[in-house]
Amino acid sequence: MASRYWVGGTAAWDGTAGTKWALTSGGAGGQAVPTAADDVFFDASSGAGTVTVSTTTALCNNISFAGFTGTFAGSVAMTVSGSFAWGAGMTRTYTGSITFNATSTGKTITSNGKTFGGFLTCDGVGGGWTLADALNSSATLTITNGSFSTGNFSLTLPRMASNNSNVRSVLLGSSTVTLTSNDVTFSPAPWGFTTNTNLTWNAGTSTLLFTDSTANDKSFNGGGLVYNIVEFAGTGTGKFNLNGPNKTINTLRLTNAPKTLNIAYTEPTTITNAVLSGTAGNLNIIKSSNTGVASLATCAVLNTTNNQDLDYCNVINIQGNYGARWFFGRHSTNGGNNIGVAFCTRQDAAAMML
């Protein structure tokens, strides 16, 4: 393992060594191009020029831009085997994908207020990464192998996914994960956790916040996991599709009515607390994904451990398990084929029994 300091000013990070790399900060150039075992530094002595990743994948162990005031550009992929840190005073126009492939834990990802411009992938068997500050990305974050922890910092990105059966873990802590994409641009869903095989999962006290406001449908693929807060907050007309087998959501919220919540009828959902009410003149639609076929098999099954008081909803093809424990208030509409659903508040029901 060695250190490589950029001293080449405006030039390309490629397979040609030239005079671009030194062993010390501001030292003499002429050292070899960094390998996956080398730590890379862009610092105050690297100049204020533009470094462009080009022609070949850039490799390094740890990489730091602390003190760098230049521009990091290009679109060719990078592979980082250690920790990563943008510099606060630099300019980032780089849009290439970055693969983190460490095989040991204790690695950090530091944004320093910069937005990642390309796909991010954690893919190192035995590797472990923790955010050191808030992460913003204009492309998807995928956890393929290893462990990923948010460090309780916020994340804003189009999509987050882990849909393989490799050994991996995801810890969300108290983070708010803001998901900005629609299904047309980032297929198949803003939240793509389609399987929990070999996945160690802890949602902590986190919030998943879906904010896309286009007319495109959005999907939440729950993968049979337990979530804390899931909130659909966009202002567009697209449906929110609640997919994935046997998922549990501690609190599900719909805000900015009217919304359509489209629940997969073959995949039961347990919701401990539902905040799904619309407003006068703006009913939220709560329905099965197979609306229109009047049979028990086409009802979306909602389980709950709490009685749910909801209002200003149009309810279609919903089966409330454990008896009539889903109460939709007097301003709601029975759209048909509902089972175990009452269209009155708990208080109204109790009064009628006196």
pTM above 0.85, yes or no: yes
User: Could you tell me the end-to-end alpha-carbon distance of the chain, in angstroms, rounded to an integer?
Assistant: 79
Q: Read off the pLDDT of residues 68-91 as tens digits, 9 standing for 90 and up.
A: 999 999 999 999 999 999 999 999
The CA distance from 17 to 73, in Å, is 18
Q: Cα–Cα distance between 87 and 100 in angstroms, integer?
A: 18
Q: Given pLDDT bands bounded at 50, 70 and 90, which one contains residue 237?
A: confident
317-348 tens-digit pLDDT = 988 875 557 889 989 999 988 888 888 876 67
| 212-228 exposure pattern, b = at least 16 Cβ within 10 A, e = fewer | bebebbbbbbbbbbebb
Q: Residue 311 and residue 331: Cα distance in Å, rounded?
A: 6
